[in-house]
C-alpha cells in the first residue's frame, strides 16, 4: 500500500468517526478547514469521543492499535475519559500462516522443528500485532510456548510511524491541543517502545531478571526462559496453567481470598519499584494470572515482559518521601521535594507551588482512604507541576500507568482495598532501611571503586556545597574564615567538614540534593573524613 493510499484511508477513518470534533475546526489552517468542510454537514456523533477514537484505531490496524495502547499510558497528557477507553484496546489480530511461523523458527534456531521440539502445535495459542505464540514440548518433556515476530512487521511499522510523525507534526504546528499533548514526543516514545518489542531476546532477559528477583517468593511467579531456544526472533518460555485474573467466577469457585489477592498486587508493585528497582510496566489484566491452589494465599503469575521500568536512586528516594508527605498533607514538603529532586526548576516559587498542590490534593483527602486513587493523585500532581515547568521523565510516566493498572485491578477484585494501609508501612520501612549501616556498607561495596576515583574532588565539592547552603540562608549560617595554609591543617579541616557531612546526610537527607554529582553523598563524605584523619 502506497503512503498516499494509506493517508487517504486515515482521512476516511477520521471522517467516519468524526475525529474532527476533537479540535476547534475554525482555528485550523485554511487548507485543513477546506478538507474537513464537508464534515459540518454530517450529523453530530452519538458515541463518546474516547470510544470513537478507539474504534478508529482498531479500524486502522495493529500498528495504530499499539499506538493507542501507548497513548493510554500517558495520563499526564491524555484526558482521563480517552485513557479509560484506550485501555480497552485488545491486541488480538488474525494469525499469519502457520507454515511461515515454522519457517521463521527453523531459520532463527538453525534446525528443523522436529529436532527442536518433541511436539509442536501448528495451531497458534494467540496472535497479536507484533508476534504470534504456539504451544510445544521440548525434547526433555518440558511444556513451553514459542513466540516469534510477525514476518515483514518492521517495514510496516516504519511506514506507519513515518505517517504518524507527519500527522503529529502537522497537529502540533496547527492546533493548541496538538502542542499541549506533545504528540511528536509521544510518537517518538512509541517508536522506541515498539522496536524494543521486536527484540525477543530483550524480553527474555527482562523475564529472566524478574523471575530471579521473585525466586522463592509467595507473591509472584514468572515463567522460565529456555535460552537454548531463544534469540532476537524467537522466545521459548515455560508454559503456565493458571486462572486469568479477570475470571472472577472461577476464582470465586476456588474460594479465593480476594482481599489478600488485591493487597498482594499492591505489595508486588512496591517491592518491584523500591526493593528491586525493576518493575513490569505492562501489567494490564491480559498479562496477569492467578494460581488459586492455595486460595487463602493466592499467588500471581506474570507474562509478557517486553516493557519494564526502572527509576534512578534519586527518583526512588524522592518518590517515597513525596508519597509520605502527600498523605501527611505536608504540601510544602511536597513542593520542596520536587525542587530538590530536580523535577521542577530550582528557582520555583515554593509558596505558589505549595498552594497549587494544596488546591489539587485537599479535596481528594476529604474522601475515605479506600476511595483515593494513588495513581490519579500522582497524575494530578504531575499535571499541576507541569505549570511550573516540570519535565516528566518516561520512567515516572510508566510508573504512574503501572500504579493505575494495579490499583484498578485491585479494586475490581476487592472494592474496599485501602492501598495506603499496604503502602505506608512499606515506604516507612524502606526509607528507614536506606540509612541503616548495613545498607551503607552494601553501597560502599558496590560503588567503592567509583568513589575512590572521585575522591580527589571531594574537598572542593564539600566547600562548594557549604557555600551554597550559606548563600541560601545567610542570616542563620555564619561565614567561616579559613586561614590555615599548612597542608596537614587543611587536611583536618577537610576531615571535619566531611564528618559534618555525615551528620547532615543522616539528619537531613534532602540536603543530599546538593551532592547529586556523586552517588550516596554522605557515605563518600564519611569515607573522606576517615581517610583524611589518618593523614599524618
* Cα three-residue angle 513-518-452, rounded to 5 degrees: 155
Q: 238: which strand partners?
A: 144
Q: 225: which strand partners?
A: 237
Rounded-to-integer distance, Cα 241 and Cα 225, Å:
16
- Of 76, 282, 315, 418, which is the active-site residue? 282
Q: HEC string of 347-404?
A: CCCHHHHHHHHHHHHHHHCCCCHHHCCHHHHHHHHHHHHHCCCCCCCHHHHHHHHHHH
Q: What is the CA radius of gyration of the chain?
A: 27
238 touches 144 (CB < 8 A) = yes
What the block records as the C-alpha cell of 81 is 475519559
314 touches 320 (CB < 8 A) = no
Q: Which of 398, 404, 424, 438 is nearest to 321 (CA)?
A: 424
Strand order across the beta sheet in which 220-221 lies: 220-221, 299-302, 288-291, 243-244
The helix (run of H) or strand (run of E) holding residue 102 is helix 98-109
> Position of cell 587543611?
490
Active site residue 282: yes
Number of C-beta neighbours around residue 251 at 10 A: 21
419 touches 404 (CB < 8 A) = no
Phi, psi angle pair for 520, to nearest 5°: 45, 65
- Sort strands 220-221 and 299-302 into parallel, antiparallel or unpaired: parallel
277 touches 316 (CB < 8 A) = yes
What the block records as the C-alpha cell of 437 is 549501616
Hey, which residues are catalytic here?
282
Amino acid at each position: 500500500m502506497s503512503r498516499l493510499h494509506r493517508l487517504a484511508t486515515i482521512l476516511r477513518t477520521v471522517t467516519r468517526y468524526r475525529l474532527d470534533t476533537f479540535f476547534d475546526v475554525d482555528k485550523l489552517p485554511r487548507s485543513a478547514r477546506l478538507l474537513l468542510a464537508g464534515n459540518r454537514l454530517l450529523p453530530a456523533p452519538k458515541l463518546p469521543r474516547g470510544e470513537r477514537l478507539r474504534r478508529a484505531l482498531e479500524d486502522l490496524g495493529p500498528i495504530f492499535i499499539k499506538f493507542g495502547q501507548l497513548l493510554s499510558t500517558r495520563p499526564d497528557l491524555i484526558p482521563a475519559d480517552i485513557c479509560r477507553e484506550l485501555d480497552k484496546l485488545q491486541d488480538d489480530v488474525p494469525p499469519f500462516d502457520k507454515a511461515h511461523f515454522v519457517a521463521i523458527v527453523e531459520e532463527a534456531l538453525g534446525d528443523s522443528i522436529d529436532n527442536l521440539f518433541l511436539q509442536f502445535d501448528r495451531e497458534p495459542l494467540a496472535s497479536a500485532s507484533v508476534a504470534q505464540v504456539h504451544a510445544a514440548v521440548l525434547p526433555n518433556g518440558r511444556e513451553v510456548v514459542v513466540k516469534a515476530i510477525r514476518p515483514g512487521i518492521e517495514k510496516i511499522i516504519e511506514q506507519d510511524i513515518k505517517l504518524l510523525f507527519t500527522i503529529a507534526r502537522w497537529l502540533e504546528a496547527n492546533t493548541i491541543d496538538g502542542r499541549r499533548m506533545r504528540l511528536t514526543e509521544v510518537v517518538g516514545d512509541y517508536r522506541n517502545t515498539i522496536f524494543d518489542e521486536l527484540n525477543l531476546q530483550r524480553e527474555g532477559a527482562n523475564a529472566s531478571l524478574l523471575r530471579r528477583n521473585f525466586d522463592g517468593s509467595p507473591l509472584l511467579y514468572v515463567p522460565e526462559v529456555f535460552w537454548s531456544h531463544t534469540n532476537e526472533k524467537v522466545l521459548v518460555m515455560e508454559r503456565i496453567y493458571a486462572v486469568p485474573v479477570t475470571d472472577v467466577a472461577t476464582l470465586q469457585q476456588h474460594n479465593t481470598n480476594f482481599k489478600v489477592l488485591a493487597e498482594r498486587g499492591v505489595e508486588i508493585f512496591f517491592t518491584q519499584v523500591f526493593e528491586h528497582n525493576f518493575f513490569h510496566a505492562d501489567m494490564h489484566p491480559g498479562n496477569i494470572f492467578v494460581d488459586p491452589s492455595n486460595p487463602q494465599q493466592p499467588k500471581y503469575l506474570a507474562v509478557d515482559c517486553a516493557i519494564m521500568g526502572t527509576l534512578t536512586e534519586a527518583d526512588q528516594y524522592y518518590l517515597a518521601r513525596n508519597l509520605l508527605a502527600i498523605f501527611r498533607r505536608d504540601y510544602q514538603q511536597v513542593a520542596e521535594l520536587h525542587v530538590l529532586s530536580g523535577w521542577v526548576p530550582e528557582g520555583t516559587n515554593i509558596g505558589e507551588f505549595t498552594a497549587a498542590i494544596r488546591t489539587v490534593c485537599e479535596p481528594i483527602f476529604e474522601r475515605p482512604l479506600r476511595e483515593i486513587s494513588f495513581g490519579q493523585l500522582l497524575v494530578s500532581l504531575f499535571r499541576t507541576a507541569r505549570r511550573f515547568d516540570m519535565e516528566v521523565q518516561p520512567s515516572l510516566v510508566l510508573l504512574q500507568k503501572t500504579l493505575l493498572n494495579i490499583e484498578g485491578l485491585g479494586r475490581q477484585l476487592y472494592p474496599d482495598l485501602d492501598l495506603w494501609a499496604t503502602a505506608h508501612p512499606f515506604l516507612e520501612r524502606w526509607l528507614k532501611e536506606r540509612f541503616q549501616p548495613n545498607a551503607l556498607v552494601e553501597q560502599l561495596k558496590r560503588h567503592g571503586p567509583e568513589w575512590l576515583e572521585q575522591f580527589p574532588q571531594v574537598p572542593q565539592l564539600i566547600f562548594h556545597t557549604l557555600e551554597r547552603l550559606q548563600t541560601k540562608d545567610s542570616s542563620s549560617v555564619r561565614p567561616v574564615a579559613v586561614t590555615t595554609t599548612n597542608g596537614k591543617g587543611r587536611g583536618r579541616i577537610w576531615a571535619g567538614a566531611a564528618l559534618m557531612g555525615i551528620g547532615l546526610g543522616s539528619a537531613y537527607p534532602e540536603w543530599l540534593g546538593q551532592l547529586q554529582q556523586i552517588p550516596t553523598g554522605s557515605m563518600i563524605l564519611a569515607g573522606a573524613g576517615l581517610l583524611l584523619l589518618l593523614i599524618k
